[in-house]
């Protein structure tokens, strides 16, 4: 996904002289083609994330479309006040593109994990929060948002989900129904669309026909798509790499809260720091972001319905 990011900067930067990219000492080699093709519009500013955010807002005030990029916790958590005041309160637009969330830097510990980026970024008024996990999704959503005057947060995952959605069907704020079904609704975010899709055969073996909804846009959330699906299936399961507070699960709860006779569950990150290192897959295993756990949770939900 990082390659898609740098390719898109080059593609857009060549036709839009107002695009300026600022990074905090990451991805600078990868962005060299953009730097060469768009002289004076790429800055490896230094290791000073709050200032990168403040500068980016200043560039927006001067009429540019800034993109600030570095590791998620250093933008979202360290520089939160700059995002709030310099961008959002001042009604200036820009794009923040992060890597690392939630635990892609799986061996580095919690300084480099970021479980709460959706919660924090959603809480700021009039922001957009995107979670594309395929190249076309990033490319399309970036082009739809980067100059719309809003603060847009994009979490770039380290892994893709592998399911191609036609570019023409990727629209800001519109969830994608990847698979129809009648027994429960699985809302799977980011790379865990793949986990959800991989659980389909096992679910079918247990006579469960799952509908799978994929929200590449976390804010504005497609409440209607989720509500209509859960109104039919009466059961929902959310799968996401995010804290149990403030992520996609909260949005799904908001979507279904007025429906009668509905039950749901979530696989996400509990209210506890993870002190483990190891591989990405080990973290997924630890948090239950696995096919086996999706099947177990779905069975439990549907059993309770019968």
For other proteins, which stretch binds (CB under 8 A), given 77-85, 114-122, 153-161, 282-290? 77-85
Window 157-176: residues binding other proteins (CB under 8 A): none
CB closer to other proteins out of 90 and 224: 90
Window 30-49: residues binding other proteins (CB under 8 A): 40-41, 43, 45-46, 48
Choosing from 73, 86, 140, 187, the residue that interacts with other proteins (CB under 8 A) is 86
Are 48 and 27 spatial neighbours (Cβ–Cβ below 8 Å)? no
Radius of gyration (C-alpha) of the chain in whole angstroms: 19
Burial class from Cβ neighbours inside 10 Å (0-12, 13-18, 19+) for residue 44 reads: middle
Under the binding rule (CB under 8 A), the answer on residue 273 touching other proteins is no
Under the binding rule (CB under 8 A), the answer on residue 14 touching other proteins is no
CB closer to other proteins out of 60 and 178: 60
Under the binding rule (CB under 8 A), the answer on residue 89 touching other proteins is yes
Q: Shortest distance, CB of residue 163 to other proteins, whole angstroms?
A: 38
Total chain residues near other proteins (CB under 8 A): 29
Half-sphere exposure of 298 (CA within 13 A, CB side): 32
Q: Shortest distance, CB of residue 59 to other proteins, whole angstroms?
A: 4
Under the binding rule (CB under 8 A), the answer on residue 55 touching other proteins is yes
Beta-bridge partners for 96:
68, 153
Are 19 and 174 spatial neighbours (Cβ–Cβ below 8 Å)? no
Choosing from 4, 8, 56, 293, the residue that interacts with other proteins (CB under 8 A) is 56
CB closer to other proteins out of 61 and 167: 61
Q: Shortest distance, CB of residue 79 to other proteins, whole angstroms?
A: 9
CB closer to other proteins out of 30 and 45: 45
Under the binding rule (CB under 8 A), the answer on residue 69 touching other proteins is no
Q: Shortest distance, CB of residue 101 to other proteins, whole angstroms?
A: 24
Mention every residue, 6+ apart, whose C-beta is less than 8 A from residue 214. 161, 163, 165, 175, 176, 177, 178, 187, 188, 189, 193
Q: Compute the distance between CA of residue 210 and CA of residue 17 in angstroms, rounded to an integer.
A: 46
Q: Shortest distance, CB of residue 204 to other proteins, whole angstroms?
A: 54
Choosing from 6, 31, 59, 294, the residue that interacts with other proteins (CB under 8 A) is 59
Contact residues: other proteins, CB under 8 A: 20, 40-41, 43, 45-46, 48, 50-51, 53-64, 66, 81-82, 85-86, 89-91
């Amino acid at each position: 996904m990082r390659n898609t990011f740098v390719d898109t900067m080059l593609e857009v930067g060549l036709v839009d002289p107002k695009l300026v990219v600022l990074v905090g000492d990451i991805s600078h080699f990868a962005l060299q083609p953009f730097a060469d093709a768009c002289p004076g519009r790429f800055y490896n500013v230094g290791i000073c994330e709050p200032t990168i955010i403040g500068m980016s807002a200043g560039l927006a005030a001067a009429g540019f479309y800034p993109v600030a990029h570095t590791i998620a916790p250093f933008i979202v958590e360290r520089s939160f006040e700059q995002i709030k005041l310099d961008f959002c309160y001042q009604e200036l637009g820009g794009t923040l593109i992060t890597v690392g969330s939630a635990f892609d830097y799986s061996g580095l510990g919690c300084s480099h994990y970021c479980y709460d980026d959706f919660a924090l970024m959603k809480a700021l008024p009039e922001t957009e929060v995107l979670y594309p996990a395929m190249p076309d999704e990033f490319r399309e959503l970036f082009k739809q948002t980067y100059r719309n005057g809003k603060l847009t947060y994009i979490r770039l995952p380290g892994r893709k989900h592998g399911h191609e959605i036609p570019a023409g069907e990727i629209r800001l704020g519109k969830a994608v129904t990847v698979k129809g079904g009648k027994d429960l609704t699985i809302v799977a975010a980011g790379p865990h669309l793949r986990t959800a899709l991989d659980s389909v055969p096992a679910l079918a073996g247990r006579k469960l026909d799952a509908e799978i909804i994929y929200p590449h846009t976390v804010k504005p959330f497609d409440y209607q798509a989720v509500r209509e699906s859960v109104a039919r299936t009466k059961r929902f399961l959310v799968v996401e790499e995010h804290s149990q507070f403030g992520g996609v699960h909260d949005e799904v709860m908001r979507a279904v809260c007025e429906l009668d006779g509905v039950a749901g569950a979530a696989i996400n990150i509990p209210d506890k720091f993870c002190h483990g290192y190891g591989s990405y897959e080990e973290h997924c295993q630890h948090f239950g972001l696995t096919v086996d756990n999706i099947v177990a949770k779905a069975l439990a939900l549907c059993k309770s319905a019968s």
